[in-house]
Structure 1
Amino acid sequence: MCAGQGKDSSDMSLYGIGKALSRMYFSLSMRVRVIGRENIPETGPVLLCSNHISNLDPVLVGSHMKRSLNFMAKEELFENKTAGALLKRLGAFPVKRGSSDRRALKKGLGLLDDGHVLCLFPEGTRSKTGEIKSGLAGSGFFALRSKASIVPVVVIGSYKLFGRMTVIYGPPVDMDSMRARKADAAEATEMIMEHIRGLKKEHMEQSR
């Protein structure tokens, strides 16, 4: 599983155990190829923006990188107190889907301002076809309002038993010009989505 930085020792221990178990699960049940880990800055704020094909995406993306990960999860997952407490200790925080959740936006910006890694799935919901859909403006909001390095991520595969999964962390997206001219969030999100699509297209062409 994935956890956030800045946790107390018990949380970090839980994160370490969860990460080890997650990697063990993937290594035993699937053939996972990871590309571009060197594109994730070792320090400072990072915004990971990934396509979304499964509920396992946060686990797969987070368990194959060195740094700890924070991510948004739909509010409904926190309704069970026990599950909600566990998710929070693993770096998740709730977001209301279908609306502008100011509390979640403030939480995300705070994490980035403190130099942590935040993972978002701009599409908002899982793609049933595997095709990368349009992204929501939230990703662009975080990209423009923070000083984070924006790292596009693409997950390719179907999570089938003994199937092949590929995770690609792309080079950071240069957002300086958009920040300077104060572009709107929707435009910034679309730029990020173009990079995610580009990563997938490049990989598929190389795999032929």
Structure 2
Amino acid sequence: MIDVLRFFVNMFFSVFYRVEIKGIENVPKKGSALICANHVGELDMFFIGFRIKRLVRWMAKEELFRNPVLGGLIKWLGAFPVKRGKADVRAIKTAFNLLDEGHIVGIFAEGTRTRGKAGVAKVNPGAAMFAVKKQVPVIPVGVEGRYKLFSKVRVVFGEPYYIEADKNKKYMNEEFTEISRDIMKKVYGLLEGR
């Protein structure tokens, strides 16, 4: 059933948007990984994921799951809820378990939509925590464009890399936040110099 839905999503985005995708070969065919992207708008997870052959398990704000139709759809597509503004232990455990099982987990480190502008939102520590504690590669992904029908959207996948850090060290939130900021610098760097 997922393949059928993927076919229709592919068709929709191919017909109604001019999507330019670069570097998709940087997404590993198997094994755990963390996709970390900027957050332009509501359709980011679809623009990033619709050409990836694997299911990306997106961490999404819990408010989206309150709508029975949208919540059911994104849950079916692999998303799981997170309570924003505090450490959501349940969501953290879910992400850890998914990475342990070999999935790709997707996260927007800024935690809110920024319309593609760097530095307008604070960066959260979660992305760095997952990458360090689970020693999984980070795939930075930059997204830009307007999401009006027939407009151009650009998605750039960077090369996966590991955070050089000690997974057994007890890091402070500020340290994880600084590492997450570095990840986001790589994300926005992908969108420079078209």
- Equivalent positions of 1:37-52 (< 5 A) are 37-52=24-39
CA distance in 2: counterparts of 1:92 and 1:174, whole angstroms: 24
* 1:167 aligned to which of 141, 144, 155: 155
Whether 2:8 is the aligned partner of 1:21: answer yes
CA distance in 2: counterparts of 1:81 and 1:47, whole angstroms: 27
TM-score between the two structures when normalised by the length of structure 2 = 0.89
Structure showing the higher helix proportion among its residues: 1
Whether 2:183 is the aligned partner of 1:195: answer no
* 1:96 aligned to which of 50, 75, 83: 83
Give how far 1:157 is off. Answer: 0.8
* 1:124 aligned to which of 104, 111, 127: 111
CA distance in 1: counterparts of 2:20 and 2:70, whole angstroms: 30
In structure 2, the CA distance between the partners of 1:197 and 1:17, relative to structure 1 (3 Å rule), is same
Whether 2:72 is the aligned partner of 1:78: answer no
CA root-mean-square deviation: 1.7
- Corresponding residue SS for 2:165: helix
Segments of structure 2 that go 5 or more residues without pairing to the other structure are none
CA distance in 2: counterparts of 1:64 and 1:135, whole angstroms: 27
The answer on whether the counterparts of 2:55 and 2:77 sit within 8 Å (CA) in structure 1 is: no
State the aligned residue count. Answer: 188
In structure 2, the CA distance between the partners of 1:197 and 1:82, relative to structure 1 (3 Å rule), is closer
The letter of the residue matching 1:193 is M
The letter of the residue matching 1:18 is L
Give how far 1:180 is off. Answer: 6.1
The answer on whether the counterparts of 1:143 and 1:188 sit within 8 Å (CA) in structure 2 is: no
The answer on whether the counterparts of 2:133 and 2:167 sit within 8 Å (CA) in structure 1 is: no
- Aligned residue in 2 for 1:136: 124
The answer on whether the counterparts of 1:152 and 1:170 sit within 8 Å (CA) in structure 2 is: yes
- Corresponding residue SS for 2:34: strand
- Aligned residue in 2 for 1:9: none
TM-score between the two structures when normalised by the length of structure 1 = 0.84
- Corresponding residue SS for 1:118: strand
Give how far 1:83 is off. Answer: 4.3
Segments of structure 1 that go 5 or more residues without pairing to the other structure are 1-12
In structure 2, the CA distance between the partners of 1:124 and 1:180, relative to structure 1 (3 Å rule), is closer
The answer on whether the counterparts of 1:69 and 1:118 sit within 8 Å (CA) in structure 2 is: yes
- Corresponding residue SS for 1:110: helix
The answer on whether the counterparts of 1:45 and 1:147 sit within 8 Å (CA) in structure 2 is: no
